[in-house]
Amino acid sequence: MASFNCFILALFAALMFSGIDVDLAARHLQQLPPLPKIGLPPLPHLTIPTVLKPGSLPPLPSILNLPSAPKVTVIP
């Protein structure tokens, strides 16, 4: 049980110190001069070439002839 308490204490200390580092880093970033905005160049218009023409695909295989269900006759 004592080792578990030491683990929690060490975890709490690590979280405290990491919070201090994050706070200092954020404060440092706020004190920097604003960066110039850099615009991206326009992307070239790309056209995707068509490889297959509509009539060049082979026909789909036909569905196999499945036996039909037997007809049910009702005797009047």
Q: For residue range 12-58, what is the model confidence (pLDDT) as tens digits?
A: 888 777 766 777 788 888 888 877 777 877 777 777 666 666 667 77
Beta strands in the chain (DSSP E): none
Q: What is the pTM of this model?
A: 0.28
Pairwise CA distance, residues 34 & 31, whole Å: 9
Pairwise CA distance, residues 76 & 70, whole Å: 19
Single-letter amino acid, residue 18: S
Most confident of the ranges 5-14, 17-26, 65-74: 5-14
